[in-house]
Amino acid sequence: MKRISSVWIALLGIIVGALLTLTFSAYTQRKHLINIQNNQWRKLNLILDKIDKNYVDTIDRNGLTDAAITAALAALDPHSVYMPPVELDQAETDLAGNFDGIGIQFNVPNDTAIVLEVIPGGPSEKVGLQQGDRILKVDDKVIAGVSFPQDSMVRRMKGPAGTKVTITVGRGKEVIPFEITRGKIPVHCVDAAFMVNDTTGYIKLTKFSRTTFSEVYDACISLYDKGMRRLVFDLRDNTGGYFDQALLLCNMFLDKGDEIVYMEGLHRKKEEYKADGGGIMRNMKLTVLINESSASSSEIFAGAIQDNDRGVIMGRRSFGKGLVQEPIYFSDGSGVRLTVARFYTPSGRCIQKPYSDDYQYDIYKRYTDGEMYDADSIKVDSTLAYKTVGGRTVFGGGGIIPDVFVPLDTTRASKFFIACNKKATQMRFASEMFDSFKGTISGIDDYEELNKALDRMDIPSRFREFASSKDGITCNQKEWDETQDYLIPQLRALIGRYSKLGDNAFYKMYLKVDDTLRKAIESD
């Protein structure tokens, strides 16, 4: 018995020794790997330190650090970015739903800012600024007629709430200075919401800001009360924004338990999001418009609607940005947006398009490859086939491919039209027409009345005269006949924007030449 016990003790010692050896070996390898990784990271600090101590000239440490961070992030993916304080502040302001300023919307058609809208209840309305005023100076800085950059104009007018700025405007022959106390200005993301016929409503959403859900909700209720039984939801050129707002919008239209999206990454466990069944638009007939500039949250919404067979997606393939970006903030006001996961539609499609050396030129390649004009030119990866809830086949490979393709129509763009576009002749003409008919246009808040007023303006002959005298652009009758059906609705829309109907008038009047929107309405 003692002999047997000795054998077992010996065997146990061998096993324990082997385990200790393996554990120590694994520990040593792991420690070695960590040391290698730490040394790799130390290399960057070592280089910066050597530059600081040995470089021939004075070092801009902040600039060099920013450059190193920017280069490091660029090596990861196209959307992981470093933002200095000014850029970060601007990016977050754009999505916040409000900013500090004077409360106007303006356009610069001819080297002078013209007030398009004075936001009701805002600082500018309180002191008497009016639609159509020409902004000549901001404080003592002349900004009219001197090719002053538009973004610089905005920066000069913005400022902390409670501070003052003097805006000098031209109103007819008068020059009037207004001292304005800046305040909190709401930024709207619903550009337009109106009924296109007795039963079809239209909502144009430009971004997913902090106020997106509440704005769309209010617009839907208003249109429903006017008889809406079908919604055309326009997400074209919507580059996205806050993820939670996309979830809330999807929830408005989906039934309980319907999958919305899921995210997953190397260091992020799979997270799934589903509708709770409390949405107010679950039974509303839905058409979603997208194009090559619809990205991120727009694609999450379109993908959820498509994969659940909840509505029709119409237009052209979306951009293909499906990355979860996590913000990292630094004490100096700068920050990093780091990609930590990818978004996937309910069927399993990865929204993010593949990275490539010419990634930044992808949209241009779509033009050259013919994808904008022909559905058969869309590069579909047949190996990435997925099924919707109803069993339809949809394809991955990046972006959302619409159910109904609408090509880009360039056949109506005559030489005359292109020449006018290059010089923004249409916008400057609209501004001049507003000056001539300000007393009539500015007070109109009814579409029928606006159309009658525009009919009386003899827009075709006035525009041809304006294009010829101001920009030296002429056309013969044949070319005008080819152009006017496409051009005149655009001119009426631009002039109509100066009325109280604002962007609603623009989008409603532009309907006649908007092929995608027209096809969506006709497909009912």
Residues designated as active site: 296, 307, 321
Spell out where 89-182 has E strands. Answer: 98-101, 104-107, 113-118, 134-138, 141-142, 164-171, 174-181
Torsion of CA 246, 213, 229, 276, to 10 degrees: 60
Distance separating alpha carbons of residues 95 and 246, to the nearest angstrom: 13
* 363 φ/ψ angles, rounded to the nearest 5 degrees: -65, -40
In terms of residues, how long is the chain? 524
Beta bridge partners of 285: 230
| DSSP annotation string for 409-462 | --TT--HHHHHHHHTTHHHHHHHHHHHHHHHHHTT---HHHHHHHHHTT-HHHH
Task: Give the up-direction half-sphere exposure of residue 448: CA atoms within 13 A in the CB hemisphere.
Answer: 0
CA 323 to chain centre: 15
The tokens describing 319, both together, are: 């951009």
Secondary element (H or E) of residue 516:
helix 515-522
In three-state secondary structure terms, 503 is: helix
**Using the 8-state DSSP alphabet, how is residue 375 labeled?**
G
In three-state secondary structure terms, 285 is: strand
Closest by Cα among 316, 387, 294, 381 to 345: 387
- The set of residues, in sequence order, having a beta carbon less than 8 Å from that of 116 and lying 6+ positions away, is 104, 105, 106, 107, 131, 497, 498, 502
In three-state secondary structure terms, 228 is: coil
Closest by Cα among 207, 185, 210, 183 to 96: 210
CA 59 to chain centre: 38
Distance separating alpha carbons of residues 373 and 367, to the nearest angstrom: 8
Phi-psi bin for 121: left (phi > 0), alpha (psi -120 to 50), beta?
left
Distance separating alpha carbons of residues 366 and 417, to the nearest angstrom: 24
